[in-house]
Amino acid sequence: MAEAPRCEFILGGQKSGKSRLAEERARDWLAAGAGRRAVLIATGLACDDEMRARIARHRQERAARVPGLLTREEPRALAEAVRRESAPDTLVVVDCLTLWLTQVLMPPPGWTPLPDPDSAGEDVCAALAAASGPVVVVSNEIGLGVIPLGPPVRRFVDALGRLNQRVAAVAERVTLMVAGCPLVVRGGAS
């Protein structure tokens, strides 16, 4: 088995299979040798009943598919979480940038908005570049559809596009998921 790239960026639409591929990367990492760890940094925030149920279902399904994958919930301080969890023997999965950016740009009630979301994204990219072990980052590719009507949605689409470009520049491998099929955009075989 080939060694994991230092950083892989997996993009795709909703339900394209990007999280499943990231989980496969973690499963393969764990199976490749004793003493390895895999940690998933989950950025989703359970603000309503549907999201709570979705998160619970994902936890259960993930545990069945990837035994030994540890989960850390971090909806806001993503760069710090990557720095904290990264180690040479640990593969870190970030799932996903889209939810993280949502909380940065449109924080839930009671949360203080971050003054500079672009700076927060740069901090995440710096943490990815400095990671001492492999990292797999998941994000949505949402810029392929129609142009959103409202300014807040256009702002979000633009911000995610800029963040995705910065993460792709840091990543050794970039993979686009289309209908469950991985298409390696840069960095060799998937």
- Copy the structure tokens of residue 128: 């990815």
How far apart, in whole angstroms, are the C-alpha atoms of residue 16 and residue 33? 29
Residues belonging to the binding site are: 12-19, 42-44, 59-62, 73, 95
User: Cβ contacts of residue 107 below 8 Å, gap of 6+?
Assistant: 113, 114
Question: Which position has the token pair 């540890």?
Answer: 70
Q: How many CB atoms lie within 10 A of CB 94?
A: 29
Enzyme catalytic residues:
58
Q: How many CB atoms lie within 10 A of CB 80?
A: 13
Helices of type H across the chain: 18-31, 49-65, 78-85, 97-105, 117-130, 151-170
Residues belonging to the binding site for GTP are: 12-19, 42-44, 59-62, 73, 95
* Whether residue 96 has a cis bond before it, omega within 30° of 0: yes
